[in-house]
Amino acid sequence: MTEFLKMHGLGNDFIIFDWRDGGPERIGEAAARVLADRRLGIGCDQILVIRDTAVADIRMDILNHDGSPSGACGNGTRCVADYVMRQTGRDDLSIETDGGQLRAWHAGGGEIAVDMGPVATGWREVPLAHEVDTLQVPLGIDGLGDATCHSLGNPHAVVFVDDAEAVDLARLGPLVEHAPLFPDRVNLSVVSRIDEAAFRMRVWERGVGITMACGSGACAVGVAIVRRGLGLRQNRIVMDGGAVQIDWDPATGHVTMTGPVAHVCHGTLSPELDALLGEPLLESGHGAS
């Protein structure tokens, strides 16, 4: 029977499969949706699969709640890094993902840091449907102003508002995610200032919906703060599930996130859920997120 691990980073929760010794080549969308369902399956925001690789210490594949693939997951990266480092006794780790190779390490105080790599700010890299200055992108959606857009292996739109709590994210999130401007869909973060170096963020994740935290989204917010001249390079980003520290170095383009992770449980799939992993794979109708 197939074993799994459940972890979360600030309430952003994950099913983790350690398939370094072999496992299915892919998890089909239908199986992923059942596993991620909080009533029919285990329940999670994303599914993470650890595999062997020749180019890093490990490889991590990412599936969203709806079964679509994702190129980046900051909180998930910290969770997987903590698990593998505890298992191996290491203090740092290199991780191959579809969004690029990442590095994670113990930051002290029980927190894990991850270098999420360089941030892409060109309109083609996000990607956007047409050329536009990614510093201020008109969304054309009532209730939201211009967004700052960039990619961390997945596309992000960051909108600064007077009060993030007052934004109807459940209504606006799907409109932005599926807007024609974003051919691969997009993650939306709405952000308001708390103080000079702290910002409140609420997030709608593509392929998931509203989540308690989003690591790559927090990184995107940290980058947007500096790009828009709203703060220095180090900022505390406060989400529904808690806070992370984001440090973006414009000189290298690299962004580092530091925060806590938590182990929830370790278990074995039931025969019914285990059988889903062997079902025929369906082609995804979604773009990578």
Element (H, E) at 116: strand 111-118
Of 119, 140, 118, the closest CA to residue 129 belongs to 140
Residue 288 pLDDT > 70, yes or no?
Answer: no
pLDDT computed for residue 88 by the predictor: 96
Read off the pLDDT of residues 1-47 as tens digits, 9 standing for 90 and up. Answer: 899 999 999 999 999 999 999 888 889 999 999 999 999 999 999 99
Q: Report the share of the chain in percent with pLDDT over 90.
A: 91
Please give the mean pLDDT across all residues of the chain. 94
Assigned token pair, 125: 């890299």
Is 73 marked active-site?
A: yes
Assigned token pair, 32: 């992923």
Of 73, 79, 149, 219, the catalytic one is 73
Quote the CA–CA distance of 244 and 145 in Å, as a whole number. Answer: 25
Can you tell me which residue has the tokens 């995610």? 177
- 289 — pLDDT class (breaks 50, 70, 90): very low
Is 44 marked active-site?
A: no
Ordered alpha helix ranges (H), 58-149: 74-88
Q: Out of 26-40, 83-97, 180-194, 271-285, which region has the weakest mean confidence (pLDDT)? A: 271-285
Residue range 174-187: average pLDDT? 98
Read off the pLDDT of residues 223-275 as tens digits, 9 standing for 90 and up. Answer: 999 999 999 999 999 999 999 999 999 999 999 999 999 999 999 999 999 99
Of 44, 79, 149, 214, the catalytic one is 214
- 71 — pLDDT class (breaks 50, 70, 90): confident
Phi, psi of 63 (to 5 degrees): -120, 135
pLDDT computed for residue 280 by the predictor: 56
